[in-house]
Amino acid sequence: MIARWEQGRTDIDRLIDQERLQKVVPSRELADLMIARARTHLQTAAAIAASDPTAAFQTA
């Protein structure tokens, strides 16, 4: 059984009803890919922070 949260549930349900959010099937493969990309972005941001802080902020 999956535990449900209650804080904010009314807002989320409303946004789903308004089609501003949609339910999606969880994908471990996609989640792992997104985390790997985020780590790469953070490494890039750290590498350029001293020379181009604005770009580092945007990349992070």
Per domain, the residue ranges of the chain are 26-60
From first to last of its 60 residues, the chain has per-residue pLDDT tens of: 667 778 899 999 999 999 999 989 999 999 999 999 999 999 999 999 999 999 999 999
pLDDT given at position 1: 61
pTM for the model stands at 0.62
- The H or E element spanning position 11 is helix 9-17
Burial (CB count within 10 angstroms: exposed 0-12, middle 13-18, buried 19+), residue 39: exposed
**Chain centroid to CA 59:** 14
